[in-house]
Structure 1
Amino acid sequence: MQIVETTNEGLKRAYTVTIPAKDIEARIDTEVKKIAPQVKMPGFRPGKVPANLIRKMHGDALHNDALNESLRESVNGLIREKSLRPALQPKVDMTPGYEQGKDAELTVEVEVLPDIEAPSVDGLTLEKLVVPVTDKELDEALAKFAANQKSWKDAPKTKKAADGDQLIIDFVGSIDGVEFEGGKAEGTPLVIGSGQFIPGFEDQLTGVKAGDEKTITVTFPADYQATQLAGKDAQFAITVQSIKVEAETKVDEDFAKTLGLDSLDKLKELVKIQLEQETAGLTRTQMKRQLLDTLAADHDFAVPPTMVEAEFEQIWQQLQAETDREDDPAAAKAEIEAEKDDYKRIAERRVRLGLLLSEIGQANGVDITSQEMSMLIQQAAQQYRPEDRQRFVDYVRNEPMAQAQLRAPLYEDKVVDFLFDKAEVTTREVTREELEAAIEAEESTAEAKPAAKKPAAKKAPAKKAAAKDADEKPAAEKKAPAKKAPAKKAEPKEAEAKPAAAKKAPAKKAAAKK
């Protein structure tokens, strides 16, 4: 293999690589010997087919395989020989006019990672803003939690059902006098006004009393899941077993015990921990932005343009998706277009910080264990249909770039945690509002947004999209490889009560549900 460097400008490199024809032919000879024992041909015993006939039968396929393998090994050999650290996959092209039996010439273009001197991790100082949980906040959270734990008590027999009451009913559904599958249930709870059943069902039960029997007529929606019922009129013969009203839930020892806890104090302890966890994420975001701002201020080096472009495209796609959800999409799109250069600078900052964090991690022995990597792959596989999960796992295990994409967020978090441990941290108590304001201020500084803002339909979507959280991605998070992973399973829509009639489920809450 002959290598000639044709470009060496900044982080860009280009080479011409020549693969001798004899090397390609040697690969073909090796493959012929490998497959010869399995080749069958009339007139020859198994394994005795002459090599020239095997070449004649499978020549094109053997040559293509040998050529592709030669290209792959040549590029890998180039990277090793020149000690290159590619930022993304190299661009490889065959020189036009190649013919079988001649030397193969290819051009390889690659952007390399910059040489970065890992900074000292000593002397870092950070301020940690924490939000203490007040007694008032704890009481409000407990009251809200109790309100969500609805309980019901029997109403007087003379009580007429009204909005918000719970009815316990039996019902039998029929169409043209014929019962339909899944349209019958006993002891079914129904809260009037909940929208739990198809339109018109609950409204017609307003005013009934315990023991009443009533037949109502409703029309199934045209888009009803059970197509055999869609758009049809149905009659439901209903018997009201009882009517219940919501009971007051008191936050006391008995309430705690109904939740399986030993005492009210234990409930308070758990709720307090939950409140603390809600602000812990904000505290980490605020500390991380301080850290990244410090690193960004002290380091300025060239970054691979292709990495910046890939990062910008990711930001831009997210921004455009955000604008589509604005009240005035046109105004929102116009605003982000006016700030396009700012988002390119954000992309460059993210790439630079990602490379810096990666260098710090490598210099200080931060790594992702094989067990952690396996967990990441298995977690990512859950996004796919069950029948595709193993194929996704195999795909990732054989694709280094796909592995890099999965490991990047966890690796970044581990490097950040390492730097947190090294830093001198002072703690200051603030309110949640003050913490959020501090994050917003750091975000604005980090993104170097223009001072003057054009009016838009809403607050600029950019602030809640690409620039939000300033979670700069590490250098390892690169563009996905060309080979496609299995298609992800469709994301479910918001949960809807699905009719038993449509899926032959138990009769409970049957055809009346929507």
Structure 2
Amino acid sequence: MNIELQKTGELTATVKIDLSPADYEEKVLKVLKDYQRKAQMPGFRPGKVPFGLTKKMYGQAVTADEINKLLGESLDSFIREQNLDLLGNPLANTGKTPQIDFSEPAEMSFYFDLGLSPQFELKLDGKSGIIYHRIEVSDEIARKYMDDLRRRNGTLTDVEVSEKGDLLKGDFAELDADGNVKPEGIISNGSVNPELFKDETIQALFGGVKVGDVVKFNPMQASGNATDVAAMLGISKEQAETLNAEFNFTVTGISRMIPAEMNAEFFEKIYPGVEIADEAALLEQIKKDAAGSFVGESDKKFFNDAIKYLIESSAIELPDEFLKRWLVDVNQDKLTAEEVEKNYDDYARSMRWQLIENRMIREHNIQVSEEEIRDVFRSYFQRPGSAEMDEDMKMRIDGIVDSFMKNKEDVRRINDQLFEQKILTFLKEKIQPEEQAISYEDFAKLQ
């Protein structure tokens, strides 16, 4: 056997493997003799089928199989010995490799194309100009959230005259073209929240009404959503989709949500265990919590900006034509050459980031341990402020965690999340972005 590496470009090469019968004949013979011992054929006792007949029946297939095994093992060994850093997998060069006849032992040559990983400079310093946007919550947003909390924790009270935001209960009756109740039309009872209607003119019809008043309106025109209309009238979505009729809505009840009072009981309900004395303190706590919830969005923006910067600053060259072939080869029956060509820029960007990420992981020893994954599973059973678990409880939870660890999909998902978090932390440390405060409204415009 002879193996030769032939450079075909800056980032491509071809491996030529020359085989002689001495490289594979012994292995083929061994397999065929094993077939002969196991063969069962009419007219022959088990294990007594003539070798010539066995070879005639299975010789070519066995020869092809053994040569393919030998090629795979030899190519893998050669790549390791030569310390070749590849992109993708080797691809058979069918243009250079001649048609092979496996019926008789002969000298054979096989060619495999390689894509080589490029060398590149990784600029991990504080000169990127990347900004980390720390989202600040305005008083206006915090107050809107506080008002929403008060409504959600308020008391539903019956009132005599409706106002904006009230919930109205009543009876629906479908009308005909002349405005009369339609015989065998839709009759039902339900409720409406006019504030959710998209048609503001119809919304206004429900203002200032009392129990016993009748409001005439078209539900589909008011809502524009067949699912909501179906729930309102107690009909199917399919019926609602074809419905274009006016209804009488006779008001039978009006309910209003009275917001919760700003007192110690409300503060304790919203933030148990946190000392909040008044409305100003509540607003500050809301702003603090909201800012914390926005950290994920700030991190995501920084992470995407860092990826873009590293890809652009590294200027990584790729063996594009090889990668296009490889993408088609590994996605057989899923991607065509035309689809790969159309979306190649996205594939190439992903490949460049993968090269950068792998290099950071390798050079800076970024790892996720099994114990860290277990800690994530353990956190499912820990509540903030709860007492420390005793040893018996810890052992029981570890038993449950053992069963969770058998779910390879969940383990892989958590492993990826932890890896991404570690990469994010690493990038923050190395790139040292400039931190700037920004309102949520302005941050949203950056997306």
Structure 2: how far apart are the matches of 1:428 and 1:209? 56
Q: Does residue 91 of structure 2 align to residue 80 of structure 1?
A: no
Pick closer, same or farther for the CA change 1:363–1:418 going to 2, 3 Å: same
| AA in 1 matched with 2:98 | P
Q: Does residue 434 of structure 2 align to residue 430 of structure 1?
A: no
Q: Say if 1:122 and 1:422, in contact at 8 Å, map to a contact too.
A: yes
Pick closer, same or farther for the CA change 1:238–1:288 going to 2, 3 Å: closer
Structure 2: how far apart are the matches of 1:33 and 1:270? 79
Pick closer, same or farther for the CA change 1:85–1:23 going to 2, 3 Å: same
The superposition leaves residues 489-510 of structure 1 with CA deviations (integer Å, 9 ceiling, x where unpaired) of xxxxxxxxxxxxxxxxxxxxxx
Shift of 1:165: 3.5
Structure 2: how far apart are the matches of 1:39 and 1:104? 30
Alignment of 1:388-467 (within 5 A): 411=419, 414-418=422-426, 420-421=428-429, 430-432=437-439
The superposition leaves residues 348-372 of structure 1 with CA deviations (integer Å, 9 ceiling, x where unpaired) of 8986675455334312222344688
| AA in 2 matched with 1:362 | R
Q: Does residue 2 of structure 2 align to residue 2 of structure 1?
A: yes
Q: Say if 2:40 and 2:49, in contact at 8 Å, map to a contact too.
A: yes
Pick closer, same or farther for the CA change 1:363–1:233 going to 2, 3 Å: closer
The answer for the alignment partner of 1:153 in structure 2 is 156
Of 285, 292, 299, the residue aligned with 1:269 is: 285
Partner SS state of residue 10, structure 1: coil
Q: CA RMSD in A?
A: 6.3
The superposition leaves residues 197-234 of structure 1 with CA deviations (integer Å, 9 ceiling, x where unpaired) of xxxx9999999865899999999979997669975899
Higher helix share: 2
Shift of 1:430: 3.3
Of 249, 252, 256, the residue aligned with 1:245 is: 256
| AA in 2 matched with 1:146 | L
Pick closer, same or farther for the CA change 1:140–1:227 going to 2, 3 Å: closer
Pick closer, same or farther for the CA change 1:226–1:408 going to 2, 3 Å: closer
Task: Work out which of the two has the higher radius of gyration on C-alpha atoms and give 1 or 2.
Answer: 2
Q: Say if 1:129 and 1:429, in contact at 8 Å, map to a contact too.
A: yes
The answer for the alignment partner of 1:303 in structure 2 is 317
Pick closer, same or farther for the CA change 1:109–1:269 going to 2, 3 Å: same
Shift of 1:107: 1.8
The answer for the alignment partner of 1:502 in structure 2 is none
Partner SS state of residue 86, structure 2: coil
The superposition leaves residues 135-170 of structure 1 with CA deviations (integer Å, 9 ceiling, x where unpaired) of 7367435336437738563333x54x6875323468
Partner SS state of residue 168, structure 2: strand
Structure 2: how far apart are the matches of 1:84 and 1:420? 32
| AA in 2 matched with 1:153 | L
Structure 2: how far apart are the matches of 1:433 and 1:238? 41
Partner SS state of residue 294, structure 2: helix
| AA in 1 matched with 2:113 | E
Structure 1: how far apart are the matches of 2:357 and 2:308? 9
Question: Across the two proteins, how many residue pairs are aligned to each other?
Answer: 370
Structure 1: how far apart are the matches of 2:299 and 2:107? 61
Structure 2: how far apart are the matches of 1:48 and 1:82? 47
Alignment of 1:121-136 (within 5 A): 131=134, 133=136, 136=139
Structure 2: how far apart are the matches of 1:97 and 1:22? 20
The superposition leaves residues 434-460 of structure 1 with CA deviations (integer Å, 9 ceiling, x where unpaired) of 9969x97xxxxxxxxxxxxxxxxxxxx
Partner SS state of residue 76, structure 1: helix
Unaligned runs of 5+ in 1: 314-342, 376-391, 398-402, 441-463, 465-514
| AA in 2 matched with 1:244 | S
Q: Say if 1:308 and 1:348, in contact at 8 Å, map to a contact too.
A: no
Q: Say if 1:253 and 1:264, in contact at 8 Å, map to a contact too.
A: no
Structure 2: how far apart are the matches of 1:138 and 1:71? 66
| AA in 1 matched with 2:168 | L
Pick closer, same or farther for the CA change 1:8–1:213 going to 2, 3 Å: closer
Structure 2: how far apart are the matches of 1:233 and 1:350? 50
Identity of aligned residues (%): 19
Shift of 1:99: 1.2
Pick closer, same or farther for the CA change 1:436–1:42 going to 2, 3 Å: same
TM-score by length of 2: 0.55
Q: Say if 1:167 and 1:189, in contact at 8 Å, map to a contact too.
A: yes
The answer for the alignment partner of 1:96 in structure 2 is 98
The answer for the alignment partner of 1:165 in structure 2 is 166
Shift of 1:3: 1.7
Structure 2: how far apart are the matches of 1:234 and 1:74? 77
Structure 2: how far apart are the matches of 1:29 and 1:285? 62
| AA in 2 matched with 1:304 | L
Shift of 1:86: 0.7
Partner SS state of residue 196, structure 2: coil
| AA in 1 matched with 2:91 | K
| AA in 1 matched with 2:367 | D
Structure 1: how far apart are the matches of 2:39 and 2:217? 76
Alignment of 1:303-452 (within 5 A): 303-306=317-320, 355-369=355-369, 411=419, 414-418=422-426, 420-421=428-429, 430-432=437-439
Shift of 1:15: 2.2
Of 106, 111, 117, the residue aligned with 2:110 is: 106
Partner SS state of residue 290, structure 2: helix
The answer for the alignment partner of 1:191 in structure 2 is 193
Partner SS state of residue 142, structure 1: helix
Q: Say if 1:18 and 1:104, in contact at 8 Å, map to a contact too.
A: yes
